[in-house]
Amino acid sequence: MQIEPIATFRSPLTTKFGIPRQSGLAKDLQGRIVLEQKYNDPNALRGLDGFDYVWLIWGFSANKSQKETFHPTVRPPRLGGNERIGVFASRSPFRPNNLGLSSVRIIAIEDNEIIVSGADLMDGTPIYDIKPYIPYADAHPDARGGFTDDRRWDNLEVEFDPKVLSKISSSEAKELTEVLSLDPRPHYQNNPERVYGMPFHHHDVHFKVAGKVLTVIEIVDL
């Protein structure tokens, strides 16, 4: 079976570093689903405005192909990046077919674009299908969550050096705070003097992490 993208995702996050590790964690982070010309027909989106969420089936386009060598286990960040678990018991991006699945909230529908929030996709990600989220069939509030039930994920407190906030808008600051609070660092790194850089919108954001506090020390225009 051959599949082709029906849309491309546009996001302020242009690299894998900083992408939320699950959809819905950064609820204020907005992005756009832009339909490819072949599928740019208003009839294809008819009725979608009656739903609050959609499922996206998409490709981990920044990963190298996994077809050559199959790795049966992965190290999820939720387990600290050191413990291994079966790839099919994880949401790891390193999968045999490099396919991702995300539930995102619909903000608006404008021509051939769907404005959404809460996505865990980087800019330029190919989208292979869009399906409406149906609460009676898709929600299982009493379901077990495997290792995620036992491992708590503590968000960071985000602070800005006052002089850097003038570089971004209030809406960008809100999105950035939410993304950074999820701790984009690899979980085996814990050097309080290390400066990290992350592209965001048209800026390069520099920050440090000491304990549970992340401090944005500089925002540079790209």
pLDDT in tens, the chain (222 residues): 889 999 999 999 999 999 999 999 999 999 999 999 999 998 999 999 999 999 999 999 877 655 568 889 988 877 877 789 999 999 888 888 889 999 999 999 998 899 999 999 999 999 999 999 999 999 999 999 998 888 777 899 999 988 898 889 999 999 999 999 999 988 777 889 999 999 999 999 999 999 999 999 999 988
Q: Which domain holds residue 192?
A: 157-221
Burial class (CB in 10 A: 0-12, 13-18, 19+), 94: middle
Predicted pLDDT at 83: 86
Does residue 172 lie in a domain region?
yes
**C-beta of residue 71 within 8 angstroms of C-beta of residue 87:** yes
Supply 14's token pair: 């242009």
Residues 21 and 102 in one domain: yes
- C-alpha 69, offset from chain centre: 26
Residues 128 and 203 in one domain: no
Residues 214 and 106 in one domain: no
Q: What SS3 class is residue 127?
A: strand
Residues 104 and 32 in one domain: yes
Q: Does the pTM exceed 0.75?
A: yes
What is the Cα–Cα distance from 98 to 113, expressed in whole angstroms? 24
Does residue 150 lie in a domain region?
no
Does residue 37 lie in a domain region?
yes
Q: Give residue-wise pLDDT tens across range 171-212.
A: 999 999 999 999 998 877 788 999 999 999 999 999 999 999
